[in-house]
Homo-oligomer: A and B are copies of this chain.
Amino acid sequence: MKCLVLLSGGVDSSTALYWAHSEHEVVATLSFDYGSNHAARELACARYQADTLGIPLRGIDLRSLAPHLSSALLSGADAIPAADYAEKNMKQTVVPFRNGIFLAIAAGVAESVGAEGIVIAAHTGDHSIYPDCRESFMQTMQQAIAQGTYAEIQLLRPFISMTKREIVTLGAKLGVDFAHTYSCYCGREIHCGHCATCRERREAFRAAGIPDPTSYLA
């Protein structure tokens, strides 16, 4: 199947790209810049991963949306809660309906370039505090995208029943260079090691028994 891969440049989407490259024909990757703290670091990693496989990257500039969407993710590193994912803290980092917006744009681009599917790296560890990460949402959005496009574009969620540990294991097997992936919500050059996404990243490598190539500040 000709498909687009949503590629943020993190562990999950980089592995999804390698998975799609092995199972399907990836016509392009899509990277969204919505003015997040970590956009520049993520985009550099996304570009590295796409270039490595010789797949075009389409950078979608959504910075004009930032003034209209409320989230700590769009407000500088100091606003990020340094804690595990706990509802009271992490709700601050929600970009409202972010996956819905990304998937809708991906559907329009897919129809324009003749792709039949969109790959998203949603997984079981995506926190249920984000309503647009839940599988029930993904199922309905899949139906909306199929109904709203001529090509009845499909939404592929290969990791929907996998943990982040399992994704790291698969990525290592497929040859993903994790040194060129980025997770930290703070967006600095080096992973902070303290924010919720850094903690998840570390723990996934540890649990998978895969050497973690990441430099952490602490």
Contact = CB atoms under 8 A, between A and B. Distances in A.
Interface of A: 58, 60-62, 64-65, 68-70, 94-101, 103-105, 107-113, 131-132, 134, 136-137, 140-141, 143-145, 147-150
A76 B108 CA distance: 20
22 contacts: A65-B105, A68-B105, A68-B112, A94-B150, A96-B107, A96-B111, A97-B107, A97-B108, A97-B111, A97-B145, A100-B107, A100-B108, A100-B144, A101-B105, A101-B107, A101-B108, A103-B104, A104-B104, A131-B149, A140-B140, A140-B143, A140-B144
What is the predominant secondary structure among interface residues of chain A facing chain B?
Answer: helix
B104 A101 contact: yes
B148 A112 contact: no
Contacts of A145: 97, 100
